[in-house]
Amino acid sequence: DVQLQASGGGLAQAGGSLRLSCTASGVTFDDYAIGWFRQAPGKPREGVACIGGTDGITYYADSVKGRFTISSDAAKATMYLQMNSLKPEDTAVYYCAAVRLRFTARADEYHYWGQGTLVTVSS
């Protein structure tokens, strides 16, 4: 049974940093694509960053390239999203997700979702 637990959200000032964590049970990172998605009020859920387990292929939304970094630590069964140079438009609920595929950045292909953690960036 796969379970994901996201944490690390909070309030940050524009230009600041936060690191989100997502602990995973029942997931072998080598066999799963993992990703971070976000949803702002009144907007659809969007992919932020994804990584494939087998070869480490990554995807970043254009809006976060150069500022966010996705990573994982298989020994700790934890995935991370390091967010630097935060902007007010990064304010959203952030979700971690996993699926037993080589790689995908499509939210509708992810099977397992964490509960979400709120990130608020003030100007």
Lowest mean pLDDT among 29-33, 52-56, 61-65, 101-105: 52-56
Query: 39 burial class (0-12, 13-18, 19+ CB within 10 angstroms)?
Result: middle
Residue 21 tokens read as 């964590």
- State phi, psi for 27 to the nearest 5 degrees: -120, 125
| Mean pLDDT calculated for residue range 71-78 | 93
| pLDDT value at residue 24 | 95
Q: How far apart are CA 72 and CA 89, in angstroms?
A: 25
| Mean pLDDT calculated for residue range 80-94 | 98
| pLDDT value at residue 54 | 79
| pLDDT value at residue 112 | 97
pLDDT-derived band of residue 53, with 50, 70 and 90 as boundaries?
confident
pLDDT digits (tens, 9 = 90+) for 7-23: 999 999 999 999 999 99
